[in-house]
């Protein structure tokens, strides 16, 4: 069985000096100001330098001592543990609240800031190699020598997850800006009807019309409430969005709004949800 420790030894690294870090934490759990922050995976894919800065900050229990090597992995949308590189620790220091970085809540006790230096070991596997972490997923930081991690896959090149299809699309609004460009293009290619659902189960059914299709409509929620009365004051970053129905971008707005009314009737979103948009009246459509 090929394990990650075998690759470490081939690269001249002693597993006893290597710590494995599985970046699984949802940054949104760190507080209100993190509601729109990307996941570690999305941060790495969109801005690798910012990801490197982000991982410098850890609590005391997750410190990497001087001379140790950090082998980092991020959890992908497909739940793979993807290798993203090695860093050498040149030490760490405690920091005060005034010195906290952008990725730690103010007032958190015993935060340390590492001095990491990127190294070239195993760089040919970055974005290509994934491992099986095992059952101890809560233990984000582990000693390589004590944990043989089987290699799950080595890809020819890094690839973003495939678009799951409209029927299976499900995304938190706060994560929309970090969606792969290919996914954005697919969503922009169709108009249609979408559903927003709050953590409390509240529903809003809306219609997307225009040249930018579904993407042009739902992406706007990441920055504003779109002016809808039912959504005013709601923490939209925590809502999830799904696609209920699609039509080509060549379809007439009236056809899309008729679909919207149909879905509002099916789901009861006007009577029991957040859908109070009167746009259909412009086209003389019946609400009932």
Q: Model pTM?
A: 0.67
Helix (H) or strand (E) holding 44: helix 40-46
For the stretch 258-286, pLDDT in tens is: 999 999 888 887 666 676 554 444 444 44
Mean pLDDT of 31-50: 74
The reported pLDDT for the residue numbered 18 is 97
**What is the 8-class DSSP label of residue 110?**
S
The reported pLDDT for the residue numbered 33 is 52
Q: Which two tokens stand for residue 262?
A: 């149909």
Question: Rounded distance, CA 156 to CA 139, Å?
Answer: 29
Q: Is pLDDT above 90 for 193?
A: yes
Question: Rounded distance, CA 118 to CA 86, Å?
Answer: 6
| Mean pLDDT computed over every residue of the chain | 83
Lowest mean pLDDT among 67-76, 102-111, 171-180: 102-111
Token pair 């609004």 in the structure block, residue: 173
The reported pLDDT for the residue numbered 280 is 47
The reported pLDDT for the residue numbered 283 is 44
Q: What DSSP letter does each residue of 48-67 carry, written as one string?
A: HHHHHHHTTEEEGGG---TT
Where are the extended beta strands (E) located within the chain?
Answer: 18-23, 57-59, 69-75, 81-94, 111-118, 129-131, 141-143, 151-154, 170-172, 190-197, 203-208, 240-248
Dihedrals phi, psi of 191, to nearest 5 degrees: -90, 170
Q: Is pLDDT above 60 for 36?
A: no
Tell me the torsion sign for CA atoms 117, 69, 28, 238: positive
Mean pLDDT of 145-149: 95
Q: How many helices (H) and strands (E) does the chain have?
A: 7, 12
Q: Under 8 Å CB-to-CB from 162, ≥6 apart: which residues?
A: none
What number of CA atoms fall less than 13 Å from residue 6's CA on the CB side?
7
Is residue 63 classed exposed, middle or buried when 0-12, 13-18 and 19+ CB atoms within 10 A define those classes? buried
């Amino acid at each position: 069985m090929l394990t990650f420790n075998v690759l470490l030894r081939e690269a001249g690294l002693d597993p006893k000096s290597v710590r494995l870090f599985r970046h699984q934490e949802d940054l949104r759990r760190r507080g209100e100001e993190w509601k729109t922050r990307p996941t570690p995976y999305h941060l790495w894919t969109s801005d690798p330098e910012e990801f490197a800065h982000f991982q410098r900050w850890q609590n005391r229990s997750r410190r990497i001592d001087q001379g140790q090597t950090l082998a980092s992995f991020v959890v992908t949308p497909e739940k793979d543990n993807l290798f993203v590189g090695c860093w050498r620790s040149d030490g760490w220091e405690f920091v005060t609240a005034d010195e906290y970085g952008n990725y730690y809540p103010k007032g958190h006790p015993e935060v340390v800031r590492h001095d990491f230096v990127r190294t070239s070991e195993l760089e040919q596997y970055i974005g290509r190699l994934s491992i099986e972490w095992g059952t101890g997923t809560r233990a984000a930081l582990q000693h390589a020598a004590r944990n043989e991690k089987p290699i799950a896959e080595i890809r020819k090149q890094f690839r973003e997850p495939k678009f799951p299809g409209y029927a299976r699309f499900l995304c938190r609004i706060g994560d929309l800006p970090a969606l792969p460009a290919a996914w954005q293009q697919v969503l922009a290619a169709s108009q249609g009807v979408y559903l927003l659902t709050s953590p409390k189960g509240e529903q809003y059914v809306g219609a997307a019309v225009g040249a930018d299709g579904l993407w042009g409509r739902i992406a706007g929620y990441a920055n504003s409430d779109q002016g809808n009365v039912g959504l005013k004051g709601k923490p939209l970053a925590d809502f999830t969005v799904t696609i209920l129905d699609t039509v080509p971008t060549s379809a007439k707005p009236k056809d899309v709004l008729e679909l919207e009314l149909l879905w509002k009737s099916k789901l009861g979103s006007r009577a029991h949800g957040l859908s109070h948009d009167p746009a259909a009246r412009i086209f003389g459509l019946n609400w009932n």
